[in-house]
């Protein structure tokens, strides 16, 4: 396993739309393992392949405190949304920035697991939020794009300043 580099907003590669995975093979299983290692190391609860500059429809997630409930979504599609809720979100690609986003309260998602088996999951609460957040990444969208232009510009400025000081 290997730690992968997480792209930082406003990197343009975060806006690349991910392509469907054609075949779940050893390369994809290695990607999934590396994504989990990267996500756990970064103390996140979800990671889309887009965030590690792999533009294929792969998402990993683990909402447990103990990091023992890994979930894999390959070629995920939300088939149903219901209700509305707001939640303060953060993102590994936008470190240290948190803001409130309105999303569907409940979702149904269809995907493949790392063995290539199809499953359907009905989710609500944090899991539903996380699924929508990560699937946005696969569509080339970062959560800050739900915010006002003023907030987006402030975030870009803040992250660019931080990047300069870290060099």
Element (H, E) at 87: strand 85-91
Average pLDDT of the segment spanning 41-70: 97
Average pLDDT of the residues of the chain: 96
Rounded to 5 degrees, what are φ and ψ at 58? -135, 130
3-class SS at 92? Answer: coil
What secondary structure does DSSP assign to 135-150, as a single string?
A: HHHHTT--GGGGS-HH
- Asked if 9 contacts 144 with a C-beta cutoff of 8 angstroms, the reply is yes
pLDDT, tens digit, 9 for 90 and up, residues 148-161? 999 999 998 998 88
Domain 12-166 in CATH 3.30.429.10: no
Residues in the annotated binding site: 91, 133, 137
Nearest 5°: the CA angle 99, 164, 31 is 65
3-class SS at 164? Answer: helix
pLDDT, tens digit, 9 for 90 and up, residues 90-110? 999 999 999 999 999 999 999
What does the alpha-carbon distance between residue 126 and residue 132 come to, in Å, rounded to a whole number? Answer: 10
- Asked if 76 contacts 109 with a C-beta cutoff of 8 angstroms, the reply is yes
Residue 134 catalytic? Answer: yes
Per-residue model confidence (pLDDT) at position 49: 98
Element (H, E) at 128: helix 125-138
Q: What are the residue ranges spanned by the domains of the chain?
A: 12-166
DSSP structural state of residue 93: T
Q: Which of 12, 26, 105, 134 is catalytic?
A: 134
Predicted TM-score (pTM) of this structure: 0.96
Residues in the annotated binding site for Fe cation: 91, 133, 137
**pLDDT over 90 (residue 162):** no
What does the alpha-carbon distance between residue 83 and residue 15 come to, in Å, rounded to a whole number? Answer: 27
Per-residue model confidence (pLDDT) at position 159: 87
């Amino acid at each position: 396993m290997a730690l992968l580099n997480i792209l930082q907003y406003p990197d343009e590669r975060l806006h690349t739309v991910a392509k469907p995975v054609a075949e779940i093979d050893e390369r994809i299983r290695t990607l999934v393992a590396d994504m989990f290692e990267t996500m756990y190391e970064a103390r996140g609860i979800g990671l889309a392949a887009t965030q590690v500059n792999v533009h294929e429809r792969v998402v990993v997630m683990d909402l447990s405190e103990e990091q023992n409930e890994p979930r894999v979504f390959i070629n995920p599609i939300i088939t149903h949304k219901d209700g509305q809720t707001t939640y303060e979100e953060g993102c590994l690609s936008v470190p240290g920035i948190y803001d409130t986003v309105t999303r569907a309260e409940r979702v149904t998602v269809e995907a493949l697991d790392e063995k290539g088996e199809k499953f359907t999951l009905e989710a609500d609460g944090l899991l539903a939020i996380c699924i929508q957040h990560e699937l946005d990444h696969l569509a080339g969208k970062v959560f800050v794009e739900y915010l006002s232009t003023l907030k987006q510009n402030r975030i870009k400025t803040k992250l660019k300043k931080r990047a300069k000081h870290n060099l």
